[in-house]
Amino acid sequence: MILGAETRSASPGSHPPKHAKAHRTCRGPNHTARALARAAGLTCFCFLACLMLIVSPAPAQPRLVDLINADRPLVIAHRGYSGLAPENTLPAFELALAVGADLVELDTHPSRDGVPMVIHDATLDRTTDAVERWGRKQIPVNAHTAAELQTLDAGRWFHARYAGTRLPTLREALETVRAAGGRVLIECKVGDPDVLAALLQTNRFTDDVVVQSFNWEFLHQFHARAPEVVLGALGPPSRLVDGSTPVGLSGTLNERWLREARRTGARLVVWNQKQLSRTAVNTAVEQGFRVWAYTANTPEQFERLLALGVHGIITDHPARLWRLLALRRPAPARDP
């Protein structure tokens, strides 16, 4: 130990070495070498520390179940930060996480070769350059393979700065969000419960996602294959657990919907904000559900939903919602 040896030789009462001069002469180059080695070691240490800071994983997140049960409303970015970036793309997800969204919502449809792709519409027209590229309108997502779909531009329609942005596969989206320490609310528009369960289980995504769908038959089937995954009954539904289409029923959340939602295995009801009431939220809570609302973007909508007592708000503007939540908290008490 260099430091120890030097400290000993300099300690009070110690005797100088017999051949101090010769020793010093001898020590000069060695000392310089040691100093250089120390400086190099220190530089190396600083470099490694900086590197670790840069590449270290995001801070530890609460478990998903604790996040869902948090005693504050969750901020859920609708199709990513879709107010500022092209919806359902990696830049939109990264931006949402950068402003602290608790979850990133996205939509999936399968490609022709069965790969879950991240896109909202069943056709490519609105959010890609497919019409221009392939010279046809109303091209279904499932008319092309994943590889073909990934040659499309899914960003330029939103803004030139996003030109070249690709349609993500669900797996790419999940990996991107996981790498940033975030969670995903997967809305399965169309899909095979077996394919989704296998994707989540094989890649160990099951603890970091919530799966929701308007198709409650899909949820019921998915729950049988992956009971460990948290489910959201998205409503009002387009299909009931038995595969039938609901007809003549009010879209407002009520006891009837909650009974049916329970059959899917869902722990959350995710409901149209316009079809939620205080009574409905209270009833859902009494029955053990958490309630999330979609899609709210204005301060008035946020305030109304918070007053109803919802546990999560899905929004195109997550930073706007965070700001409102921050400003409505009482200021911390000051010392006199």
- Interaction site with Ca ion (CB under 5 A): 107, 187
Nearer to Ca ion, 187 or 217 (CB): 187
Q: For residue 105, state whether it binds ligand G3P (rule: CB under 6 A).
A: yes
Residue with the CB atom nearest ligand G3P in the bound state: 294
Question: How many Å apart are CA 220 and CA 241, to the nearest integer?
Answer: 6
Looking at residue 220, its amino acid is H
| CA torsion, ordered 157, 163, 164, 170, to nearest 10 deg | -50
How many residues belong to the site for ligand G3P (CB under 6 A)? 10
Q: For residue 109, state whether it binds ligand G3P (rule: CB under 6 A).
A: no
* 68, 75, 78, 170: residue in contact with ligand G3P (rule CB under 6 A): 78
Nearer to ligand G3P, 178 or 189 (CB): 189
What single string gives the DSSP state of each residue in 12-62? Answer: TTPPPPTTHHHHHHHHHHHHHHHHHHHHHHHHHHHHHHHHHHHHSPPPPPP
Buried b (16+ CB within 10 A) or exposed e, 175-199: ebbbeeebbbbbbbbbbebebbbeb
In sequence order, what are the residues at sequence separation of 6 or more whose Cβ sits closer than 8 angstroms to the Cβ of residue 132?
none
Q: Which does 231 bind (CB under 5 to 8 A by kind): Ca ion, ligand G3P, none?
A: none
Q: Which does 294 bind (CB under 5 to 8 A by kind): Ca ion, ligand G3P, none?
A: ligand G3P
Nearer to Ca ion, 184 or 335 (CB): 184
Element (H, E) at 194: helix 193-202
CA–CA distance from 241 to each of 70, 188, 236, 254, 290 (Å)? 29, 15, 13, 17, 20
Q: Which does 314 bind (CB under 5 to 8 A by kind): ligand G3P, Ca ion, none?
A: ligand G3P
* 157, 158, 205, 294: residue in contact with ligand G3P (rule CB under 6 A): 294
Coil, helix or strand at residue 259: helix
Taking the complex as a whole, the smallest distance from the CB of residue 255 to ligand G3P amounts, in Å, to 22
Q: Which does 81 bind (CB under 5 to 8 A by kind): Ca ion, ligand G3P, none?
A: none
Q: Which does 74 bind (CB under 5 to 8 A by kind): ligand G3P, Ca ion, none?
A: none
Taking the complex as a whole, the smallest distance from the CB of residue 105 to Ca ion amounts, in Å, to 6
Contact residues for ligand G3P, defined by CB under 6 A: 78, 105, 107, 120, 187, 234, 270, 294-295, 314
